[in-house]
Chain A
């Protein structure tokens, strides 16, 4: 029983550490565009489209 308890605690700690160290590295930046025909696209950081839209948005956000 004690071993099982230790295992559960260790697993919980591992998940917490993973979320803290790895989970936070996920990109929090993104851009999305929707069109009149109902289609849409999502742009991730690093793509030329994202960089173009981000360059437009940045000055407005820094006001």
Chain B
């Protein structure tokens, strides 16, 4: 599944995510739900800064896998896994666990081959099919 498809599915599945952007390991933008590239870059910049600031909170230098900030005006989530990262904004009082699950599912979906849709076959159709 490519980035655009994964983000499309995220927006379809999550009722809480308003905007999202996927970042590569080097911090470059791989894809965004925003039409405006500059707005996508702003969100990506916030995600990079948030990961850096969250990393500075721990002197041990362990990699940040998830950072979230919930404010009265909304929330910003950043998840990092397998080198890639995804950042998303929601409205106020999000269900943090659910948003994180949706974002992680989106990240996992990247690079995975899209599952082919199963064709529904009825018993009658099977019976009518010629024997091999």
**Which residues in A have some Cβ–Cβ distance to B below 8 Å?**
28-37, 39-41, 43, 49, 52-54, 56-63
Q: Is the CB of A31 within 8 A of B70?
A: yes
- Residues of A contacting B58 in the complex (Cβ-Cβ under 8 angstroms): 33, 35, 41
Chain B interface size band reads 20 to 34
Partner of B54, one of A29, A53, A58, A60: A53
Q: Is the CB of A57 within 8 A of B42?
A: no
- Residues of A contacting B47 in the complex (Cβ-Cβ under 8 angstroms): 60
What's the nearest-Cβ distance from chain B to residue A37, in Å? 5
Number of A-B pairs whose CB atoms are under 8 Å?
A: 89
A63 CA / B49 CA spacing, docked (Å): 16
Q: Is the CB of B53 within 8 A of A60?
A: no
What's the nearest-Cβ distance from chain B to residue A39, in Å? 7
Q: B5-13, B60-68, B111-119, B123-131: which lies at the A interface? A: B60-68
- Residues of A contacting B39 in the complex (Cβ-Cβ under 8 angstroms): 63
A54 CA / B76 CA spacing, docked (Å): 9
